[in-house]
Amino acid sequence: MNAAEIKAEILRLTREFSRLTHGANRPGYAPDESRKFVPGETNVPYAGRVFTEDEVEAAVSSTLDFWLTLGKEGEAFEQKLAAFLGVKSSILCNSGSSANLLAVSALASPRLGNRRVRHGDEVITVAAGFPTTVAPIIQSGFVPVFIDNDPITLNARVEQLEEAYRDGVTKAVCMAHTLGNPFNVTAVKEFCQKHNLWLIEDNCDALGCKYDDKFTGTFGDMSTQSFYPPHHLTLGEGGAVNVVESLKLRAIVESFRDWGRDCWCASGVDNTCGKRYDWQLGDLPKGYDHKFIYSHFGYNMKPLDIQAAIGRVQIGRLPQFVQARIDNWEYLRRGLDGCSEYFDFMLPTHATGWTPEGFTWDASGHKTVCSWFGFMLAVKPTAPFKKFELARHLEVKKIGNRMLFGGNLVRQPAFGQLKKDRPDAFRVVGDLAGADRIMNEVLFLGTYPGLTRSMLDYMVETITNFAKKF
């Protein structure tokens, strides 16, 4: 056998191995016959990897080629992601948290001229959410300004944006589409345009969401994605920065990702510019190798080409994955409607209510389609039990659940210590009552595509029985 024949046989056996061993990771809408669910014994994760033998074959094939570092697979996946969203370009990195760090760091680049965000400038964000939406603001020397969350949409109270704004000091807005629910894009965009602010959308939990029939992640200057296993696509680890329009921003983000270098050559490629030894930058001698000239204080945040190979397969499943999340959310909402006296349920931005026929909408004319990251349960203050009692019960019953990440972030130990060390390190607008309510009352269940109908039925039954026993 020659090398090509050997590789083909390895990949054939890889597919057979995957079919025999990874049945539990197949989509819930197309389960493997060997996948058995035993209520109370089989774990019901809140999220997880969903894949078939196609992804395993792609990973093994790329590994056999052994390029390893970001290469042709990475370039192809970047193009597919950008094309799916309809943005100018996507830049892969090693995590969604890194994507946020790269996007925020890019705003400090001297290449942005008078729009550059400088040390001590302010960035408006939201109090309740995941910490690495906010940490890059602090890590970059900027000042986060926290506005409150609405406890039903979980997104920003946009009426606080003007109160948060300080002329000449506020330079950007960075916030997430929480739990796969688009924030009020119209209000945020109008605010940013009015004051000439940068907008970064943390789209890590929201790939495939739509606002007025346009994908989230395409409204700001940049957006970010995560490909950690609980997210809408998985590369194992990984993330991306989506640049909506500006090629200048793409070059800056790539520079920060690739050690801060000025050169834009891909790995394994030299002299793309045609004048590798003809540059004179900084105080370096003319002709210094462009591959070793650094314009930013950067990082090494590239993923592996193997991960991108998996992503190329995964992105083809994205429409089905999104629909499965929508269907699973709807199934849980119908099943738990009888528990409305105990729980508040999440609503999409601009929705005013839910009926079995669908959502009702406000008079704004705007609508959202949520690619739900999870199913929120907010335990009402009048309920005869507390959120933590429900969470412990679900854990005993082997039903995965999560808090809304860090809750009210300003209550976290890291932010408490930061306030002691540097009282002006961040600013808070209002009393953050909504973020506190989220911290105290909200948890969420899974909606991910790996859930089967039997699992969803078990979730509904378990929660209903728990609530009704009081």
Given the residues 177, 231, 296, 393, the one annotated as active site: 231
DSSP readout, 166-177? -TTTEEEEEEE-
The Cβ-side half-sphere exposure at 149, using a 13 Å CA radius, reads 31
Distance CA 264, CA 250 (A): 10
User: 242: alpha, beta or left, given left = phi > 0 and alpha = psi -120 to 50?
Assistant: beta
How far is Cα 439 from Cα 129, in angstroms, rounded to an integer?
10
393 given a catalytic annotation: no
Determine the 3-state secondary structure of 399 from DSSP: strand
Q: Measured at the alpha carbon of residue 291, what is the angle toward residues 287 and 292, in degrees to the nearest 5? A: 80
31's tokens: 């389960």
Q: How many helices (H) and strands (E) does the chain have?
A: 14, 17
Q: Which long-range contacts (CB under 8 A, 24 or more apart) does 360-364 make?
A: 364/186
Residue 364, SS3 per DSSP: coil
How far apart CA 292 and CA 438 sit, in angstroms, is 48
Residue 63 CA: distances (Å) to CA of 11, 67, 83, 261: 11, 7, 26, 28
| Ramachandran angles phi, psi of 324, nearest 5° | -65, -40
111: amino acid identity, one letter: R
What is the spatial distance between Cα 110 and Cα 100, in angstroms, rounded to a whole number? 19
| Helix, coil or strand: residue 3 | helix
Beta bridge partners of 355: 358
Residue 38 to residue 56: CA distance in whole angstroms: 27
Helix ranges restricted to H, 169-258: 185-195, 247-257
Q: Give SS3 for 4.
A: helix
* Active-site amino acid positions: 231
